[in-house]
């Protein structure tokens, strides 16, 4: 995706899905683009790829919450629909780094920041976000920073 922005790729895919008659994908992509466009209007600027990825993650989180609610309510038809939408959106995310890679990144950042206690967590998190923000699940990062700084 280096030669074109993520938003441009999504827009091109929308046109392709419309041509091939993939109505499910068209609906999901239009929905995603509406979130991106709303965010751009709110910020009054075009989003960077990093900001676009954050919007996509928000949409996935929203769908994940809906999936869980539908599953609890035994609405498997609606839960399955949410799950399919999540899979379509995930195709536009960068491949996330593994938990082992996250642990190594946390150790490296702790050393670079000369962090000694949980009070230094903010500095370590900022360092990791700067280097791996679009590819690392920050909730997993947070868990391992706490574990390693408390040991």
Indicate the residue among 90, 112, 136 that finishes a domain: 90
137 versus 108: the higher-pLDDT residue is 108
Proportion of the chain above pLDDT 70, given as a percent: 97
Domain total of the chain:
2
What integer pLDDT is reported at residue 65 of this predicted model? 95
**Nearest-CA neighbor of 50 among 131, 127, 140?**
131
CATH code where residue 83 lies = 1.10.1510.10
Query: pLDDT at position 1, please?
Result: 41
Average pLDDT, the chain: 90
Tokens (6 digits) for 102 = 């996250």
Q: With a cut of 70, say whether residue 3 has pLDDT above it.
A: no
Q: Are 17 and 77 found together in one domain? A: yes
Mark whether 34 and 14 lie in a shared domain: yes
SS3 label, residue 7:
helix
d(CA 110, CA 124): 6
Identify whether residues 121 and 85 lie together within a single domain. Answer: no
Quick one: 55 and 125 in the same domain? Answer: no
Hey, what are 28's tokens?
A: 């999901």
Same domain, 12 and 79: yes
CATH code (residue 104): 1.10.10
The mean per-residue pLDDT over the stretch 29-33 comes to: 95
Asked if the model's pLDDT at residue 53 lies above 80, the reply is yes
Residue 23 has pLDDT above 50, yes or no: yes
| Residue 1 maps to a domain | no
Mean pLDDT of 75-93: 93
Residue 149: Cβ-neighbour burial (10 angstroms; 0-12, 13-18, 19+):
middle
Residues 85 and 109 in one domain: no
What would the pLDDT profile of 111-142 be if each residue is shown by its tens digit? 998 888 888 899 999 988 888 877 888 888 89
Domain that holds residue 31: 6-90
DSSP alpha helices (H): ranges in 91-120? Answer: 99-113
Confidence of residue 16 (pLDDT cuts 50, 70, 90): very high
Residue 96 scores a pLDDT above 70:
yes
Co-location of 23 and 82 in the same domain: yes
Which two structure tokens, joined as six digits, stand for 19? 């041509």
Residue 2 has pLDDT above 50, yes or no: no
Same domain, 58 and 120: no
């Amino acid at each position: 995706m280096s030669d074109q922005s993520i938003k441009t790729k999504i827009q091109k895919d929308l046109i392709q899905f419309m041509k091939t008659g993939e109505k499910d994908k068209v609906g999901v992509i239009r929905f995603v683009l509406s979130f991106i466009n709303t965010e751009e209007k709110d910020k009054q600027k075009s989003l960077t790829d990093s900001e676009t990825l954050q919007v996509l993650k928000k949409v996935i989180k929203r769908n994940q919450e809906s999936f869980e609610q539908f599953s609890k309510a035994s609405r498997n038809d609606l839960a399955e629909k949410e799950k399919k939408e999540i899979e379509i959106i995930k195709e536009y995310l960068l491949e996330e780094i593994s938990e082992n890679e996250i642990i190594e990144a946390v150790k490296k950042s702790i050393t670079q920041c000369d962090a000694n206690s949980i009070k230094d967590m903010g500095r370590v998190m900022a360092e990791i976000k700067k280097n791996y923000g679009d590819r690392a699940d920050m909730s997993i990062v947070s868990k391992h920073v706490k574990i390693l700084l408390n040991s």
